[in-house]
Amino acid sequence: MQENPLLKIMNPRSIAIAGASNNAMKMGTMHALSILKDGYGGTLYPIHPKEETVLGCRAYRNPGELPEVPDLAFLVVPAPQVLALMKDFGEIGTKSAVIISAGFRETGDDGKNLEESLREISEKYGIRFVGPNCMGIINTEISLNTTVVPLTARPGLLGIASQSGTYITQSIPYLGRRGIRFSKAISVGNEANLGIIDALEYLGMDEQTRAVALYIEGIRDIPGFLDVARRITPRKPVVAQYVGGSDAGARSGLSHTGALAGPDHIYEGMFKQAGIIRVHSVEDLYGQGWALATQPPLRGTRIGVITNSGGPGTAISNVLDNHGLRVPPFSEKLRESLKAHIPPHAPAGNPVDITFSMEIKTLTRTLTELIMKSGEVDGIVMHGVMMSGYIREAYDHIKELLGNIPLEDLLKALTKDISEDIELPYKYGIPLLLSSFFGREDNYTEQYEDANVPVFDSPEKTARAMTVLNRYRLIRERSAGTFSTVEKKHPEAERILAAAVSHSPAALDEHSAKMLLGSYGIPVTEEVLAGSEQEVLEAAERLGYPAVMKACAADIPHKTERGLVHLSLKDRDEVAVAYRKIQENAPGVPVICYRMVRGSREIMAGMTRHKGVGPCVLFGLGGIYAEAMKDAAFRVAPLSDTDAAEMLDDIRGSAILGGFRGMPPVNRMTLASILRTLGDIAILHPEITEIDINPILIQGESPVVVDALIVTDGGGR
C-alpha cells in the first residue's frame, strides 16, 4: 500500500514557517509560538523578508537561503504570496506543506482560479499539502502543535479531522476542562490537495489513535470515503458530525471551505453503510468519541448502574432502556454481597443506590468491583463520585462543626488513594463511565479523567455515551457484506433505453419501466400492452380475473385522477367498459392489463441522483401516504447485501414487514434483492436519473411491483 502523505506532514523533523514575525498579534506569530513553546523537538526556520531573527530564531529571507531542505513548509501569508512561496519550496525539494492562508476557493471565482494554480504548482513539484484555509495540525506524540492556541495536555487517544479549524483550536481549553486529549488533529480546510478522506485513512492507521472524530460539511468523493471508512470501522470506532444537510448548513459550508454538501438523509444512510456513528453536536463528537477511545469494548447489553441518588440512577436507566441496553435485576447472590456495603434501606437490585453516602470508596471500589467480578454486567454507569468539589461548596456550613479545620487540611484528610479503583475497567475489560455535576475542580473527577475514564456533566449524557459504545459493538459484529455480481447491461434494458433517449429528458411509460426492471430480475406484474379492445379482452382472459387496466403513456401523469386506472374488473364486460372509458378520456392511448395483485401492505423503492453524492437507493412505506409519512431509508449505490438488509429495518414502520395482522412475514431476501438491483441498475445505466417504484404490493409474502416510473437524461452521462 502506498504511504499516506500525512505521515510525513504529521512527523516533520524541521519546519520552515512563512508569516511569523516578532509581532505577537500576527496570526503567523501565534502559530510559530505554539510550535516553539509546546515541546516540539525539531528545528523551526522562520522565513521573513526583513527581520534578522524571529522569536529568537535566525530568520531567512526566502526558502533558497535555508541551511537545509525543511521537511514541512508552513505558510501563513496573504493568498497571492502563497504561489510564489510554494514554487520556491518546490525548487529546493520540500515535499510537504500546510497552508493556513485563506482567500482561495471559498471566496469565489478569483479564489478558485488561485487555488487551481496552487494545485498545478504542487503537482509540478510533487508537494502534498493540507489546506489552504485551515488552522494547522497537532501531533501530541511528538509534542507538535501548529495551531494558534497553546496545548499543554498530555498525549491522548482521540484523533480528529475537521473541515473547521475552530474544532482543533478554540476547542483546546474546552477539552482540557473535560479531560479529553487529542492524539492527532488535522484541520483540512479547502482540501485542495489532501482532505478528509486522507485524514481518515491516516488516523485509521495511526497506532496512538484509538478512535476517530470527524467534523464534516461535505464530502467530494463519496465512493472513496465509503471505501476507506469500511476498512477502518470494523477495527477502530469513527464518529462524525455532519452539518451540511440543511439549506442554511450547505450555504455556510460552501462559503466557509467551499465544501459541497448533500441532503441530510443521504449522509445519514451513507454513515450507516460506512459503519460510522453519527452525532449531532460537537459536544457529543468529543465526549462520545473520547468514551470510544478510552474504554474497553462493550461485549453485551447488560449495564449496571451505581449511584448515590435515586433521580440520576432513574434517568440513566431510562436512557439505557430506551436505546437498546438493559439494566437487568441482579441475582440474589450479588444483591446479598452488595447489601453488606450499603445502608439498610438502600436498593441493591440494579440500580444500586447508596443514598448520598460520602463513603466514596464504596462507590469507586467496593461496589464496582463486586459487580464487575459477578459476570452479570457488560458495562457500568456511575453517578456521584465527588469529594473536594463538594467539600469546598459545603465548607462554610460545616467548618465550625469540624473545629474550624483549615479547608486544605480537611481535603487532605478526606482524600483517599483511588489509583487501583480507576484501573478496574481495564482490569476486568468492562467499560466504566461516570456522571458528576463537578468538573476538574473536584479531585476525583480530575483523577478519573487523567486516567482516561470519561466523566460527563449529566446522567443522561453518560448513559448516551454508553449507548454509543453499544452502537459500536453492533458495528464490530456487523457482517462486512458482499456486493452484486451484475456486471453487464441486459440487452432488453438497453433496447428500452435506446428508444427513450430521443427525448430529453425522457420518462419511460409504465410498461417499459416494468419491463426494464423485470429484465434485471425485479418481480413485476405479468402484463400485456394492448392497443385495441380485442387485444385487451384476450389479455384479460389469458392472465385471469380480477383484472387491472391502466392507460400507458409516459406523458400522462396522475392517471387515477383522470379516470385512466380501473381495478377489480371481474369479467369481459367490465374490461370492455373500462377500455372504452379510457379511450374516451385519452383517445388512442394504449393500455396495460394484468391480473390484480392482492395485498394490503404497500411499500416503495427507488433511485435518484444527487449532485456531489451520486446514485442513491430509497426504501420506505409506499402508497398514497408515502409523501405524507416520509418514512424512508437511503443508501449510496452500489449496495452490499448487508446495506440492503439494514435498510429494511431503518424505517419507522418496519414492523409491517414481519408477521402483521395475520399476514405472513415479507420475503426479506426478495426485498433486499430489489434494493441491491436498483443500485446495480444505477451504476450500469448512468443515463437513468430517477427510478420510482410505488407501490410494491406484498402478495402473501412476495413483493410485486405494480407501478413504476423511470426517467432518463435523454442521452447518457
Q: At what angle do helices 196-205 and 222-232 cross, to 10 degrees?
A: 10
Would residue 324 be called left, alpha or beta, if left means φ above 0 and alpha means ψ between -120 and 50 degrees? left
The angle at the Cα of 588, spanning 582 to 593, to the nearest 5 degrees, equals 50
State whether 472 and 483 are in the same domain.
no
State whether 383 and 497 are in the same domain.
no
Mean pLDDT of 479-498: 87
Q: Residue 249: pLDDT band by 50, 70, 90 thresholds?
A: very low
In a domain, 619, yes or no: yes
CA 634 centroid distance within chain: 14
In a domain, 378, yes or no: yes
- Structure confidence at residue 413 (pLDDT): 87
The number of folded domains in the chain is 4
Q: Residue 257: pLDDT band by 50, 70, 90 thresholds?
A: very low
Mean pLDDT of 69-88: 96
Domain boundary among 263, 292, 321: 292
State whether 427 and 394 are in the same domain.
yes
State whether 183 and 244 are in the same domain.
yes
As a whole number of angstroms, the distance between CA 376 and CA 626 comes to: 45
The 10 Å Cβ neighbour count of residue 145 is 29
In a domain, 349, yes or no: yes
Q: Residue 623: pLDDT band by 50, 70, 90 thresholds?
A: confident
State whether 570 and 602 are in the same domain.
no
State whether 368 and 399 are in the same domain.
yes
In a domain, 366, yes or no: yes
Q: Which residues of 498-521 are buried (b: 16+ CB within 10 A; e: fewer)?
A: eebeeeeebbbbbbbbbbbbbbbe
The 10 Å Cβ neighbour count of residue 460 is 14
Does the pLDDT of residue 254 top 60, yes or no? no
In a domain, 247, yes or no: yes
Does the pLDDT of residue 457 top 80, yes or no? yes
Q: Percentage of the chain surpassing pLDDT 90?
A: 84
Does the pLDDT of residue 359 top 90, yes or no? no
Domain boundary among 274, 292, 310: 292
Reported as a single tens digit per residue, the pLDDT across 13-52 is: 999 999 999 999 999 999 999 999 999 999 999 999 999 9
- Structure confidence at residue 503 (pLDDT): 61
- Structure confidence at residue 256 (pLDDT): 42
Mean pLDDT of 240-264: 60
Q: Average per-residue pLDDT in the chain?
A: 93
CA 226 centroid distance within chain: 11
Does the pLDDT of residue 389 top 70, yes or no? yes
State whether 473 and 532 are in the same domain.
no
First to last CA, the chain: 32
Whether cis (ω within 30° of 0) applies to the bond prior to 505 is yes
Does the pLDDT of residue 414 top 90, yes or no? no
CATH number at residue 472: 3.40.50.261
Task: Output 357 or 155, whichever has higher pLDDT.
Answer: 155
Question: Beta strand 688-699 with 702-705: parallel, antiparallel or unpaired?
Answer: antiparallel
- Structure confidence at residue 204 (pLDDT): 98
State whether 419 and 286 are in the same domain.
no
Q: Which residues contact 389 (CB under 8 A, 6 or more apart)?
A: 436, 438, 439, 441, 442, 443, 445
As a whole number of angstroms, the distance between CA 649 and CA 630 comes to: 15
- Structure confidence at residue 253 (pLDDT): 42
In a domain, 303, yes or no: yes
Going by C-alpha positions, the residue among 328, 324, 357 that lies closest to residue 342 is: 357
Grid cell listed for 149: 492556541
Mean pLDDT of 554-565: 86
Q: Residue 504: pLDDT band by 50, 70, 90 thresholds?
A: low
In a domain, 1, yes or no: no
Reported as a single tens digit per residue, the pLDDT across 565-622 is: 999 999 999 999 999 999 999 999 999 999 999 988 999 999 999 887 889 999 999 8
CATH number at residue 582: 3.30.1490.20
Are 41 and 143 contacting, i.e. CB atoms less than 8 angstroms apart? yes
Q: Residue 259: pLDDT band by 50, 70, 90 thresholds?
A: very low
Which residues share a beta bridge with 167?
A: none
From residue 491, alpha-carbon distances to 131, 285, 527, 599 in Å are 47, 49, 20, 32
As a whole number of angstroms, the distance between CA 675 and CA 624 comes to: 21
In a domain, 245, yes or no: yes
As a whole number of angstroms, the distance between CA 162 and CA 259 comes to: 12
Find the range with the poorest average confidence among 464-468, 554-558, 621-625: 621-625
CATH number at residue 494: 3.30.470.20
- Structure confidence at residue 252 (pLDDT): 39
Does the pLDDT of residue 335 top 60, yes or no? yes
Q: Which residues contact 602 (CB under 8 A, 6 or more apart)?
A: 621, 622, 623, 694, 695, 696, 697, 698
Domain boundary among 240, 274, 292: 292
State whether 427 and 553 are in the same domain.
no
Query: Whole-model pTM?
Result: 0.91
Mean pLDDT of 677-689: 95
- Structure confidence at residue 522 (pLDDT): 97
Domain that holds residue 668: 479-523+598-717
Q: Which amino acid is at 394?
A: A
State whether 162 and 253 are in the same domain.
yes
Q: Residue 714: pLDDT band by 50, 70, 90 thresholds?
A: low
Mean pLDDT of 635-652: 95
State whether 251 and 334 are in the same domain.
no
Q: Which of 65-79, 231-245, 500-514 is predicted most confidently?
A: 65-79
Q: Which residues contact 581 (CB under 8 A, 6 or more apart)?
A: 563, 566
State whether 390 and 435 are in the same domain.
yes
